[in-house]
């Protein structure tokens, strides 16, 4: 590293390697003017991870009809959805029997997570199972030009793990140079009017390039089989609240119809496409569609998996993660493909070469021009 840049990156290394939250916060207070070069930080990640196998190579794929729309506003917006695996759960509760504990060491695993984000440079990042928000992701993402929000689960299972780093929850980051924040809403999802342990963050963002508004939501629904009805009720609650949040009354004083802001909903739904909550989103009056169906030959089929893990109860290969978008207001320009079984490896996820049991999803969307 050149002498002009060495101080910020040595400060980052100290921030990441500090042993207590108090030390990290104190250090960041002293270095609150640090701005990180993403290219330099990516190289630093690669240096730290040089003893590990490389992450699976993934290509950006353009859907078949991506070039058929001629009317759009501004360049694409890149959106990442990812359940990054809470550190406390990975080490203490999830039981990945084919993943060595050494592969889950936070001192290196955090660099794998950052490397994934830095490789694709998303404008919006939606994360679940974040239990190192304040000491790692918030300061680093802020130094990279992102504004972040975090909402913890009311009763996080991370708190049951000895030496945990606090509760896990959802986080939403947006690039400040691209968007300004109009509205931010934190939701605790309900089922039949009873509050549950699952949450969502909803933000209305103003695009600085187009003047368009974009509503983005991130959530993480109830896990495990046997909870399908609860997930369906949580999804219904979220959809109802999104309809209220995104509605915009018409300009005319006598106009009674309502329009809605373009909407993107990212999440680990813990539900495969056969579940009722998936059908709720697909048939919602909000006009949502699942972006990753566009990778399929017919444009109607979800990927075969977004998570693949081996636990004491057996092997689990499922599609649980989604990026939903308003199909009439947004178009999907490209998507990050899904690694093959060979790329994932026989021990599945997580592993030395991938930090989570869930794959990151990423797509570029653009605003369709309004009629």
The verdict on residue 13 lying in a domain is no
The verdict on residue 26 lying in a domain is no
Rounded to a whole number of angstroms, the distance between the first and last alpha carbons of the chain is 51
pTM (two decimals): 0.90
The verdict on residue 7 lying in a domain is no
Higher pLDDT pick, 244 / 29: 244
CATH number reported for the structural domain that contains residue 270 in this entry: 3.60.10.10
The verdict on residue 359 lying in a domain is yes
- For Cα atoms 203, 208, 212, give the angle at the middle one, nearest 5 degrees: 65
Burial degree of 103 (CB within 10 A; 0-12, 13-18, 19+): buried
Buried b (16+ CB within 10 A) or exposed e, 202-237: bbbbebeebebbbbbbbbbbbeeeebbebbbbbbbb
Number of domains in the chain: 1
The verdict on residue 65 lying in a domain is yes
Q: What confidence tens digit (pLDDT) does each residue in 324-337 have?
A: 999 999 999 999 99
CA separation for the pair 325, 322 (Å, rounded)? 10
Q: What is the full DSSP assignment across 143-199?
A: HTTEEEEEEE-TT-GGGGSTT--S--EEEEEEETTTEEEEEEEEEEEEETTEEEEEE
The verdict on residue 25 lying in a domain is no
CA separation for the pair 257, 181 (Å, rounded)? 26
The verdict on residue 317 lying in a domain is yes
Residue numbers of the domain that contains 344: 35-248+260-368
CA distances, 263 to each of 136, 243, 247, 290 (Å): 28, 10, 11, 12
Q: What confidence tens digit (pLDDT) does each residue in 277-295 have?
A: 999 999 999 999 999 999 9
The verdict on residue 320 lying in a domain is yes
Residue 2 has pLDDT above 70, yes or no: no
Tokens 């959805």 sit on residue: 81
Q: What confidence tens digit (pLDDT) does each residue in 198-244 have?
A: 999 999 999 999 999 999 999 999 999 999 999 999 999 999 999 99
Angle, to 10 degrees, between the axis of helix 21-30 and the axis of helix 6-17? 160
């Amino acid at each position: 590293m050149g002498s002009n840049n060495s101080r910020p990156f040595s400060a980052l290394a100290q921030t990441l390697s500090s042993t207590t939250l108090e030390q990290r916060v104190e250090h960041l207070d002293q270095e609150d003017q640090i701005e990180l070069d993403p290219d330099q930080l990516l190289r630093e990640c690669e240096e730290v991870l040089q003893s590990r196998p490389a992450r699976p190579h993934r290509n950006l794929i353009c859907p078949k009809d991506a070039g058929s729309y001629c009317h759009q506003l501004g360049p694409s917006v890149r959106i990442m959805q990812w359940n990054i695996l809470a550190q406390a759960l990975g080490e203490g509760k999830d039981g990945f029997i084919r993943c060595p504990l050494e592969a889950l060491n936070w001192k290196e695993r955090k660099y794998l997570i950052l490397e994934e984000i830095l490789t694709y440079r998303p404008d919006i990042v939606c994360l679940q199972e974040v239990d190192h928000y304040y000491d790692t992701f918030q300061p680093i993402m802020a130094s990279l030009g992102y504004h972040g929000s975090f909402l913890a689960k009311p009763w996080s299972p991370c708190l049951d793990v000895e030496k945990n780093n606090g509760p896990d929850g959802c986080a939403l980051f947006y690039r400040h140079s691209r968007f300004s924040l109009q509205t931010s809403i934190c939701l605790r999802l309900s089922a039949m009017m009873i509050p549950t342990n699952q949450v969502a963050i909803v933000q209305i963002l103003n695009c600085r390039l187009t003047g368009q508004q974009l509503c983005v939501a991130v959530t993480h629904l109830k896990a495990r089989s046997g909870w399908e009805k609860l997930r369906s009720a949580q999804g219904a609650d979220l959809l109802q609240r999104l309809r209220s949040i995104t509605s915009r009354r018409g300009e005319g004083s006598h106009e009674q119809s309502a329009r809605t802001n373009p909407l993107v909903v990212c999440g680990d739904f813990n539900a495969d496409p056969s579940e009722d909550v998936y059908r709720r989103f697909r048939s919602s009056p909000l006009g949502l569609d699942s972006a990753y169906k566009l990778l399929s030959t017919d444009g109607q089929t979800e990927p075969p998996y977004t998570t693949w893990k081996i636990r004491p109860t057996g092997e689990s290969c499922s599609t649980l993660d989604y990026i939903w978008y308003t199909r009439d207001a947004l178009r999907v320009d490209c998507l990050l493909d899904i690694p093959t079984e060979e790329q994932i490896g026989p021990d599945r996820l997580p592993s030395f070469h991938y930090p989570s049991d869930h794959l990151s999803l990423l797509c570029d969307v653009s605003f369709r021009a309004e009629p």
